[in-house]
Each structure stands twice: as C-alpha cells, then as structure tokens.
Amino acid sequence: MAHELRILRFKLYCARLDTILDRIPHPKDIDSEDEGLDNKTKVWLDAHKVVDALGIEGQSSDESERDGTATVYYAKQLEWRSTNVGCWLRKVDDYRSRLATGGAR
C-alpha cells in the first residue's frame, strides 16, 4: 500500500510540474530579478517554487478518477501543510483539469 501511495504522489508531482512548466519560460530566458515578466508568469513561477519545495512526499495521496480522457484529482489537506499551499495546489490541479477538457488557455 505504501508503494502505491508513493506512485500516486509521484504521478501527481509530475502532472503538477508539467502543467506549471508549460506556463513559464525556460530558466535561461529569465533574468534573476524576474523583470519584464507579466503577473501571470510570476504566479506560475511561484507555483513552481512551491511544488518543487514540497517534492514528491509533499503531495497528498489524492483520490483521482478518470473524467473522459483526463484524470481529475481531489486534493486532500495534509495536517502539516498550510491551507494556503493546499489552495495553490488545487488551483494548479483545476487549471490542469480545464486544459484536459479544452476549457483553459
């Protein structure tokens, strides 16, 4: 069971990173001060920092289900994780779900 949960966390971590990395420029194209970036890009960069800092073990062992061709995740709030962080992660997941159904651009 623990191995299965680790696999779920790994898949969720990768899915979240994929979603975020599709929204930000390559690091070599960003100066150290983030000057010239629009606010949306800055938010996605912050989301990357959060997911990266949490790592695989920082992802909840979310329940998921298939919705057509996409997997829909239901994030659980981990006791040790800030509710603000959980909110960030749900927003990334919601965006990924909308992309999968053709709703986000």
pLDDT digits (tens, 9 = 90+) for 2-61: 788 888 889 989 999 999 999 988 777 776 666 678 888 888 998 999 999 989 988 876
Pick from 40, 39, 81: nearest CA to 61: 81
Strand-pair partners of 67: 70
DSSP for residue 72: E
pLDDT digits (tens, 9 = 90+) for 58-89: 887 655 555 566 666 555 666 677 778 778 88
pLDDT score of 3: 83
pLDDT score of 32: 60
This prediction has a pTM of: 0.72
pLDDT score of 63: 56
